[in-house]
Every structure is written in C-alpha cells, then in structure tokens.
Amino acid sequence: MDKRIRVAVAVLVAAMLTGCVQGLGGGSYTREEARREQNVRMGTVESVREVQIEGTRTIIGPAAGAVVGGIAGSTVGGGHGSDIAAVLGAVAGGVAGQAIEQGATRRTGVEITIKLDSGALLAIVQEADETFKPGERVRILSDGITSRVTH
C-alpha cells in the first residue's frame, strides 16, 4: 500500500503542476488568441517594477490533495479510527494541495508603465519573459481584452 500511495502522490502532483499553467508573458498566446486581429500602439517605457502574479486556484490542487490525504489517512489505524483518519487526511490534504498549487503556479511579473505616442499613460502587468528598461521604445498589442508589451 505504501508504494501505491507514493505513485498516486507523484501522478497527482505532476498532473496538478502541469495541467493548468498558462503563460502570462508578452510572447505567450492562447489558442483562441491566435489569428485574432490586434491593435498596435507605440510608446516609450516610463518605469518598470517587479511584481508577483498570484498562482492559480482551481479544483485540481485541493482535489488531488484530498485524494492523497484520504488514502494516506485510511492506512492509519483500523476500523472506525481508520475512517476518521481518512476524513482528516482528506481535509488536510485538500488544504495542502491548494497551497501547493498556488505556490507552484505563482509567477514573477513586471508592471510596465508606458507613455504612448498619443501622450496617454498606461500600465500593463505581464510575466517577466522579456527585459524592459525606461526609455525603450515598445509595442503594445491589444485585442480589446488582453494587452501585452513587446519589443
């Protein structure tokens, strides 16, 4: 049983960590964004500040943690005590699974403040997949919902 628990933990954690992570950088596009027309504006970077982009909160982390915790808890004791341990293990596993998911999907980002050629100021937060410096000329691509900054 111990080996099966370890295998279950490994499979569930791997699925949890890779299943729902979407890139938030300037060079990352979803399938729906491909081949969609975007407006392009030009501007100059005014300032850049490092920020943290929260991790995702889906049902995958808590569910995987609850399953693993429940299985692990059920191996403790016998009879009615095993049932109680399984429930407690599932609750603790769910809480731990959510924390693991959020931590694993948290990203370092940048808040880029840009002065557009029109004179307007705007700020965009995106994953730090490119380096931006004050004074640099950049392009801002926007489809009305999503905006990104690129060189």
Residues 77-90: pLDDT tens digits?
677 677 777 777 77
The structural domain count of the chain equals 2
Confidence of residue 19 (pLDDT cuts 50, 70, 90): low
Extract long-range pairs of 46-49: CB within 8 Å, 24+ residues apart. Answer: 46/113, 46/114, 46/115, 46/121, 46/134, 47/112, 47/113, 47/134, 48/110, 48/111, 48/112, 48/113, 48/132, 48/133, 48/134, 49/110, 49/111, 49/113
| pTM for the whole structure | 0.59
Evaluate whether residue 50 is within a structural domain: yes
Which structural domain, as residue segments, surrounds residue 124?
Answer: 37-54+107-151
85-141 pLDDT, tens digit each: 777 777 788 777 777 777 677 788 999 999 999 999 999 999 998 999 999 999 999
Question: Looking at the structure, do residues 116 and 130 belong to the same domain, yes or no?
Answer: yes
Question: Looking at the structure, do residues 50 and 80 belong to the same domain, yes or no?
Answer: no
